[in-house]
Amino acid sequence: SERTILHEVSFKIPKGSSVAIVGQSGSGKTTIANLIPRFYEPLQGEITIDDTCINKYKLADLRGLIGIVTQESLLFNDTIFNNIAFGIENPEKEKVIEAAKLANAHDFICELENGYEANIGDQGGKLSGGERQRITIARAILKNARVIILDEATAYADPENEYLIQNAISKLVKGKTLIVVAHRLATIQKADQILVVENGKIVGRGRQEELLSE
pLDDT tens for 100-129 read 999 999 999 999 999 999 999 998 999 988
Q: What is the pLDDT of residue 147?
A: 93
pTM of this prediction exceeds 0.75: yes
- Checking if the pLDDT of 140 tops 70, the result is yes
Helices (H) and strands (E) in the chain, counts: 9, 8
- Checking if the pLDDT of 39 tops 80, the result is yes
Q: What is the pLDDT of residue 190?
A: 78
Our CA angle for 165, 189, 193, nearest 5°, is: 115
Task: Name the nearest CA neighbour of 179 among 59, 18, 9.
Answer: 18
Q: What is the pLDDT of residue 99?
A: 93
Q: Considering the chain, what is the average pLDDT of its residues?
A: 88
Q: What is the pLDDT of residue 24?
A: 86
